Structure 1
Amino acid sequence: MAAVDFYGLKDKRDELLLAPLNFAVVLAPFGTQIPAKLTDETGKFVQLPDGWFSVGEIQKAAGVNMAPEMSVTGPEGYGSKGRRRDLVESETFSIEFTAQETRLKTLDLAMDLDVSTFNATDKELRFDKRRALKLPEYSALFIGLDGEQGQELYPYFLYPKVTNTQRASLSLTDTNIIEYSVKLDYKETPGQAPWSFGLAGPGLPAFSAELAEANAGF
């Protein structure tokens, strides 16, 4: 092993810092085809299958909050400090964001409103809350944007199956727009990972080179 100084040992790499400077939230009813890839060989986005829709711009202050939660149990031995074996009792994952744009799909998603009666020529619109017996299920893509023009990098999170488990709490004032808070919880899908993290975009080769070099160790 070659000798290195402290900074060589630390191996700081600013090139590996990822920042979601912009964000796209894209959903589809569960069962919609999930794209095998988001980008083509040039790093540009491919057309998503029918059924996927965007919620538009989301609230900056709230951002996107992805929160894992795990409950661990296990046997404790007389005389042993702590558990002798860790057993996962339950594992959950929730995603929260606040949509700002009043879109039909968002009204359906956040408030469980039946928007099937929409008619663009009507002089009045009224959407009724469903008397739902089953929580709606979706597939979800959260796509960030980082990098300079022409070298964009898209860190993304894919959730094959999530359930909307919390209705929007509306705060109505004369100093803000109507916004729609959404909380999604992942659900298990047989034969699939609960969620996936990916990187794409024309800036990926340069990032991957740094990633490979950092992964090589000493």
Structure 2
Amino acid sequence: MPVTDLTTLKDAQRELLLKPLDAAVFLAPWYTAVPANFTDATGALQSLPPEFKSVGLIDKKTGVSFARKQTNASIESYGELQATRDDITSDITTLEFEPQQTNAMTLELTTSANLAQVEAAADSGEVFFAQPTSEQVTYYSAIVIGRDGNEAAPIYVFKVMPKVAVTKYAGEQWTPTKVLSQKLTLTAFKDDTAGYAVAHGFGGLGWKNLLDKTGITVASV
């Protein structure tokens, strides 16, 4: 074997350290088709289907969090110090963020109410609605887009969850120093039409410029 050193073996590439400097969460009614491509041949970001609506501003400190939790069932054998078999029995991914804007979408997410039939009073503009007493799970299709770099050569990071539902509410805290909002946790479920629960993607001109360093094979033209 040829002589080398640790610096060479490490193959450190600082340009591959990605950091989403901005991000947006988009939700649509469940079964809304996800775009086949998020960027065009030049790397420019494409518009999403009109059904996907942004939740708007989200809390900066907590950002957007993705968590994955697996449950394993191990088999131990007499005389063996390690498990002799291990099976994954569940694989759950969650999406967590805190929407800051008060609008129909965020109100539906945080209260489980359906505001499609709710109207503001014609004279006062007052809105009043009851939180459901008979709970029914509402599913959505979710797309999360993050951007690193600048607008001239952006690197986009995509997460697609074709079937999600709110499974945890952090609750509201009214104080004079905090916006009226609450953190939400959405759980991803496998969508039979899409064939998956979570998908990942990268794109943009900045990503295209780095592609040859990532080790990912490029399709033949």
Q: What TM-score, normalized by structure 1, do the two folds share? A: 0.91
* 1:28 equivalent in alignment to 2:31: no
* Correspondence 1:141-160 to 2 at 5 A: 141-160=143-162
8 Å contact kept, 2:67–2:95: yes
Pick from 193, 200, 203: which aligns with 1:200?
Answer: 203
CA distance in 1 between counterparts of 2:210 and 2:111 reads: 40
Pick from 161, 164, 175: which aligns with 2:163?
Answer: 161
CA distance in 2 between counterparts of 1:204 and 1:120 reads: 49
Number of the residue aligned with 2:219:
none
Number of the residue aligned with 1:63:
63
CA distance in 2 between counterparts of 1:122 and 1:169 reads: 31
CA distance in 1 between counterparts of 2:170 and 2:55 reads: 14
CA distance in 2 between counterparts of 1:122 and 1:81 reads: 75
Gaps of 5+ in 1: 214-218
CA distance in 2 between counterparts of 1:168 and 1:135 reads: 17
* Correspondence 1:9-158 to 2 at 5 A: 9-116=9-116, 117-119=118-120, 121-123=122-124, 124-158=126-160
8 Å contact kept, 2:39–2:45: yes
Number of the residue aligned with 1:210:
213
Structure 1 stretches of at least 4 aligned residues deviating more than 6 Å after TM superposition: none
- 3-state secondary structure, aligned to 2:28: strand
- Give the letter for the 2:204 counterpart: G
* 1:6 equivalent in alignment to 2:1: no
- 3-state secondary structure, aligned to 1:175: coil
- 3-state secondary structure, aligned to 1:203: helix
8 Å contact kept, 1:111–1:167: no
- Give the letter for the 1:11 counterpart: D
Gaps of 5+ in 2: 217-221
1:164-196 per-position Cα deviation (integer Å, ceiling 9, x unaligned): 112350011111110131110111223612211
- 3-state secondary structure, aligned to 2:90: strand
**Count of residue correspondences:** 213
Percent identity between matched residues is 32
Cα distance change on mapping 1:28 and 1:122 into 2, 3 Å: farther
* Bigger shift: residues 9-18 or 190-199: 190-199
CA distance in 2 between counterparts of 1:96 and 1:84 reads: 36
